[in-house]
Amino acid sequence: MWDIFLQTLPFFMLIALGYGSGRTGFFSPEATAYLTKFVFYFALSAMLFRFSANLSLDAILDWQFVFAYLAATGVVYVFATVVALYRKAPMAEAAVEAQCAVIGNVGFLGIPMLVLLLGEAAVGPVMMVLAVDLIVFGSLIVIIITGSRDGRMSPRVLWTVSVGLLKNPMIVSISLGLVVSSLDLPVPVPVNSFLLLLGAAATPGALFAIGASLATKSAERPATALWLSFCKLVLHPAAVAVAALFLFDVGAYAAGVMIAAAALPVAGNVYILAQHYNVAPTRVSASILMSTAASVVTVSLVIAWVTSF
């Protein structure tokens, strides 16, 4: 456990450095926004493209894996929704809380950290988790919020969801990489070196950006944020562990990667959605702040456990 903690500590030290820079004002919110944009559209996309271009769809697409993650995440999503509705929260707020309970920071934190700690073989499973999060649950929250406001479903909502997916650089870069791989197209050496160099900026840039963005987050409504952090850091990986290890035929290594990915703190893009639709943004902000702080310990514990099998 101590060895794993020491291996994860540098990642959280980078987050802390970003937090300190943002908190002291050395790194302004505008600078954080531009750094995040650089990582999201360029560095992380280069990393994902290079990874997926060296994989085949058959090698990473495991339907037992997808069904296990989808089923476990769906259970926690529904549970968090029911709890929110029981507290008399509106449906839109319940959807946002459910998103906090299951959507982890796979893109900015999970891919860099899990690939380095668990090996490059973790790329495929992590990308499958990311794809389910973005395609299924990223679409679901938009549909629920829009539908609850309009009182009905409309083709406009589905069009908004489709355009959002097509514009997401993580989905685009993974898809293009898999196309290159499936067509067996060679990646020229200068291009591969370019992608390697640009992708190397993803890990420090993403972690620093996470910390700097946390500096602007507030800890209002701590009780709800604590509950959502518990859902994300404990209930979600526990449900995924049960599904992957006992209910579905998922290999031990892939199951370990899936559980570790599920143990990640609440993703920053949940806040972006909450802010965009003006649905409980301070609640989401507090959940991101609390879950990220607690994950210094909880993620180390989970990774130490999954590496045992």
Using one digit for the tens of pLDDT, what is the confidence trace for 29-78? 999 999 999 999 999 999 999 988 888 777 778 999 999 999 999 999 99
Q: For 201-218, how does the pLDDT look when each residue is reduced to its tens digit (9 = 90+)?
A: 998 998 999 999 988 876
Instruction: Enumerate the domain spans of the chain.
Output: 2-27+62-167+202-306
DSSP per-residue letters across 13-30: HHHHHHHHHHHTTSS-HH
Question: What does pTM read for this prediction?
Answer: 0.88
State the burial class of residue 127 (Cβ atoms within 10 Å of its Cβ: 0-12, 13-18, 19+): buried
For range 156-171, the mean pLDDT: 78
Q: How confident is the model at residue 268 (pLDDT cuts 50, 70, 90)?
A: confident
The average pLDDT across 15-37 equals 93
Among 110, 265, 286, 289, smallest CA distance to 202 is for: 110
Q: In the structure, what pLDDT confidence band is assigned to residue 151 with cuts at 50, 70 and 90?
A: low
- Residues 223-243 have pLDDT tens digits of 899 999 999 999 999 999 999
Query: Is the four-CA dihedral 172, 107, 134, 244 of positive or negative sign?
Result: positive
Q: CB 50: neighbour CB atoms within 10 A?
A: 21
Residues with Cβ within 8 Å of residue 49, at least 6 apart in sequence: 173, 174, 176, 177, 195
Which band of pLDDT confidence, cut at 50, 70 and 90, is reported for residue 250?
A: very high
What DSSP string describes 240-263?
A: HHHIIIIIS---HHHHHHHHHHHT
Least confident range of 62-71, 73-82, 112-121, 294-303: 112-121
Flag whether pLDDT at 168 surpasses 90. Answer: no
**What radius of gyration, in Å, describes the C-alpha atoms of the chain?**
19
